[in-house]
Structure 1
Amino acid sequence: MTASDARLTSSDGLASPPPTHVGFLLIPDFALLPYASAIEPLRAANRLSGRPLYRWSHVSIDGSPAQASNGVEIRPDVSVGDDVRFDCLIVCAGGNPAAFRNAAVFAFLRQQARRGARIGGVSGGSYILARANLLTGYRFTIHWEHAPALLEDYPELDLRRSLYEIDRDRLTCSGGTAPLDMMHAVIAREHGSELALAVSEWFLQTHVREGAGPQRMPLRERLGVSHAPLLRVVERMEQNLEAPLPRAELARSAGVSLRQLERLFRTHLGHSLGEHYLGLRLDRARDLLRQTSLSVLEVAVVCGFSSASHFSRAFRARFHHPPRAERGARQPAVWR
């Protein structure tokens, strides 16, 4: 079926609008699960409604098969630069989208937006949209793994830590299985909640999550800890990595003495308060070294270290190699 097909005729003889044409732009190393979670609800909507409500095309950068992060390849229907019109174009990306630089892709996305297509991104796809300057003035979301690097590159953008965001003609989703929830909202808006619920039930979704829901497990489940004051302290630590809070202030927020707080960390997490805070900051630093072009000194400052030498010593002690070796070993490909 092509975009020029005549309008369909329904069983009652009335003309029906043509199917919504959705494009999936597959960036090399894209994540397969969120891609599947975005496209499968469209197929289910067609099947359950008995009508071709949606059709889709796969787009690759150069017409070659696009390879997912697990090695699966998908043959494209069109390539970037082809004269094709979409009603909606969704960018699927994973790996390290911060390293992606491709002027032709950015121009193609802007062209589709000018032509009136809704533009979306799943998992790391929102990073590509930010690079193409298509998120200014929109609220959006991205997978939590990519959020720190994106905020360093684009601090002025309205990034939310939600499952998905639908803001006018922009659809963004954090990834994983969250596209199932986003597409539920899309189908409900376009074809009614009854069909959307039927699609969700078909995929055994016993609970459809709201877009504003959290991306990550609550700390209670993530750490296997149920001590509320301790969890409050860890949450404050995670929110204050660039300017670490004094230990006494953390103890006050927990309503315990510093000695008691240290004992809580030893008992429940197996290490000291300082070790836990340092680990959080170094983990963030490793993510930034992998995903951004910030210098080692800049990463050190962003993660609350007073000097590059202090940062390097702490990094080597935790990961058994210096920061520069981490970057060299993990440097991703840049697709031109």
Structure 2
Amino acid sequence: MNTNSKPRHFVFLLLGEFSQACFTCALEALRQGNRAVGYDAYTWAIAAEGGDMMSGSNGIEMKLHMGLDEVNRDDTIVVCGGLNIAQNTTKPIINWLRRESRKGVAIAGISTGSYTLAKAGLLDGRRCTIHWENHDSFEEDFPEVELLKTVYVIDGNRMSCAGGTSSIDLFLKIIADDHGQDAANWVSDQLIYNSPRTEKDGQRLSIPTRIGVRHPKLAEVIKMMEENIEEPISPSILAKDVGMSTRQLERLFRRYLDRSPKRYYMELRLQKARNLLMQTGMTVINVALACGFASPSHFSKCYRAQYNTTPYRERGSQMSGDS
């Protein structure tokens, strides 16, 4: 064990309303990594744009070590995102990331930090991931980035994880690559994290677990619905594809989900529409089209029935910062 080797230094860039959970999980993994190897293999600094403190989405403030200062080429920048990522991705931050990336600095985005990296053009032609709630809007905003639905992605010197405890998985991988799997396993045990996930694991619970029903045909139909929002599939075709009659499919949804297939499908489409309205600058008409509504008036009517407001008012409240 070479205790004289140079520590690997991480600069955690906290954006406004950052996710405290994701940031803390990453930091704790590094702290335990030092314990695992018996010396300070990892060091870190907390940075943000201006000021001495930065407040997370839970209101807790973190004391900063630095602002948007230059970092060393061997450092790793970790962009910690959270809520309202578009507003909290400022021009100075984008310019700083571009400047540091030109040195060849490794850069990671955790939680919604991938948005900031993509906005700076640092993920063009790369693979990445982002929190599932931001997946639809990210795809619309950055078609040049290959977006995956996994818990974390490593693509060269660009890394990303989806938020929450997924930063543990990413940093366990970093520790394993740096110091071996035994060290990573020790850290996992210390964090009482007994099911580490790989780069291939998905973010969300399985459909049966999410809906609380273990019915393979029902899960298959819901999967088809989720994958075909822009061009909805008729209930008769959905039923046929899983070897059922339309009436049997109706009974299945009524029995387990207390709604018709048509109603359930509509709720999925409206949820995606709401995400796009709240998280992107897409026009209401384009949001409607992206969610399978050919008529803006029909979209507005359905949206009002579901959320008791219109898409235009929803967009207006977002733009004024009331979301």
TM-score, with length taken from structure 2: 0.96
Could you tell me which of 215, 218, 226 is aligned with 2:203? 215
Structure 1 letter corresponding to 2:94: F
**Structure-2 change in CA distance of 1:101 and 1:34 (3 Å):** closer
TM-score, with length taken from structure 1: 0.92
> For residues 78 and 230 of structure 2, what CA distance do their matches in structure 1 show?
33
Percent of paired sites with the same residue: 39
What's the offset of the Cα at 1:131?
0.2
Could you tell me which of 51, 70, 79 is aligned with 1:83? 70
Query: 1:156-235 counterparts in 2 under 5 A?
Result: 156-235=144-223
> Larger deviation: 109-118 or 142-151?
109-118
Could you tell me which of 31, 37, 41 is aligned with 1:49? 37
What's the offset of the Cα at 1:35?
0.6
Residue 78 of structure 1 aligns to a residue in which SS? coil
Could you tell me which of 253, 265, 272 is aligned with 1:284? 272
- Per-residue CA deviations over 1:237-279 (Å, capped at 9, x if unaligned) read 0000000012221011121000110111111100001100100
Contact 1:34/1:175 (<8 A) preserved: yes
Match of 2:26 in 1: 38
Structure 1 residue 271 corresponds to structure 2 residue 256: no
> For residues 246 and 26 of structure 1, what CA distance do their matches in structure 2 show?
45
How many residue pairs align between the two structures? 321
What's the offset of the Cα at 1:332?
6.8
> For residues 258 and 63 of structure 2, what CA distance do their matches in structure 1 show?
49
Could you tell me which of 138, 145, 149 is aligned with 2:126? 138
> For residues 100 and 27 of structure 1, what CA distance do their matches in structure 2 show?
6
Could you tell me which of 303, 312, 315 is aligned with 1:324? 312
Match of 1:5 in 2: none
Residue 208 of structure 1 aligns to a residue in which SS? coil
Contact 1:87/1:116 (<8 A) preserved: no
- Per-residue CA deviations over 1:24-48 (Å, capped at 9, x if unaligned) read 0000001111111111111111123
Could you tell me which of 233, 242, 251 is aligned with 2:230? 242
- Per-residue CA deviations over 1:179-225 (Å, capped at 9, x if unaligned) read 11111110010111111111111001112111210100001010011
**Structure-2 change in CA distance of 1:98 and 1:255 (3 Å):** farther
Residue 91 of structure 1 aligns to a residue in which SS? strand
Match of 1:120 in 2: 108
> For residues 296 and 83 of structure 1, what CA distance do their matches in structure 2 show?
41
4+ aligned runs moved over 6 Å, structure 1? none
